[in-house]
Chains A and B, each alone.
Chain A
Amino acid sequence: DAGVIQSPRHEVTEMGQEVTLRCKPISGHNSLFWYRQTMMRGLELLIYFNNNVPIDDSGMPEDRFSAKMPNASFSTLKIQPSEPRDSAVYFCASSSQRPNHEQFFGPGTRLTVL
């Protein structure tokens, strides 16, 4: 298996632009997680899905952030409009609910908003 796939690996954009991050979970996994990692705040859970349905989005910082999972093999995290404080590494992870919820992480997308 190829593992969790994220694209792009690096994204540089200007403030005010729309940014879309993509994630392909491991085949057969039914839970998907979006995290943000910064030096100041560490690793934060933004949102997670079970069976393509958003379960907990309490970590989404504000309305500028949105996430979708249209099917079991694809998810997006969108930021519109982007701001410099959104600069971070964004990780996607997936897991199977059985037997033990172990999460497998993608390589991350490093986002820089100028």
Chain B
Amino acid sequence: AQSVTQPDIHITVSEGASLELRCNYSYGATPYLFWYVQSPGQGLQLLLKYFSGDTLVQGIKGFEAEFKRSQSSFNLRKPSVHWSDAAEYFCAVGERTASKLTFGTGTRLQVTL
């Protein structure tokens, strides 16, 4: 069965600094990979997704993620964080033959001014 590990529970960065959130997955084949963001009191919103092709994917709000098969990773990056990026971020992996997603435990991002 697939699994997702987000090793950082909580990260604090200064506004304007760069950001990298880590995500490692376990899956036997090439997975579908997703990053979602959840603002306080809100549902989850899709930031970006990877299915095939270019391993560097661009998402909304200036985020990008890179799929590295050799490291089983799909880390999320942003070159300059804004205070409005403070939220919880979830990485998820999906099978190509089923609709179920497996979510990581999330990383809470705090942005200091």
Distance of A31 Cα from B34 Cα, bound (Å): 17
In the A-B complex, the 3 residue pairs with the smallest Cβ-Cβ separation, listed nearest first, are A105-B43, A31-B99, A105-B44
Known: A42-B105, A43-B106. A97 touches B43 (CB 8 A): no
> Is B83 part of the binding interface, using a Cβ–Cβ cutoff of 8 Å?
no
| Minimum CB distance partner of A49 in chain B | B99
For chain A, give the interface size range. Answer: 20 to 34
Determine the interface band of chain B, counting residues with CB < 8 A from chain A.
10 to 19
Of B45-53, B56-64, B68-76, the one with at least 4 CB within 8 A of chain A: B45-53
- B residues near A33, Cβ cutoff 8 Å: 100
Q: Is the interface of B mostly helix, strand, loop or mixed?
A: strand
Q: Name B64-113 residues within 8 Å CB distance of A.
A: 90, 94, 98-101, 103, 105-106
Given A42-B105, A95-B99, A101–B94 Cβ distance below 8 Å? yes
Known A-B contacts A91-B43, A102-B34, A102-B49; A50 and B106 likewise in contact (beta carbons under 8 Å): no
Q: What are 30 residue pairs bridging A and B, where the CB atoms are less than 8 Å apart in the complex?
A: A4-B43, A31-B99, A33-B100, A42-B105, A43-B90, A43-B103, A45-B100, A48-B100, A50-B99, A91-B44, A93-B44, A95-B99, A99-B51, A100-B49, A100-B94, A101-B32, A101-B94, A101-B99, A102-B46, A102-B49, A103-B44, A103-B46, A103-B101, A104-B46, A105-B36, A105-B43, A105-B44, A107-B42, A108-B42, A108-B43
- Chain B residues near A106 (CB, 8 Å)? 43
Closest to A6 in B: B43
Which residue from chain B places its CB closest to the CB of A31 in the assembled complex?
A: B99
Residues of A near any B CB (own CB < 8 A): 4, 31, 33, 42-43, 45, 48, 50, 55-56, 91, 93, 95, 97, 99-108
Complex CA–CA separation, A42 to B44 (angstroms): 13
Using A99-B51, A107-B43 as known contacts, list a sample of 9 further A-B pairs with CB atoms less than 8 Å apart, ordered by residue number in A. A31-B99, A43-B106, A45-B101, A91-B43, A100-B32, A101-B94, A102-B34, A103-B44, A104-B46
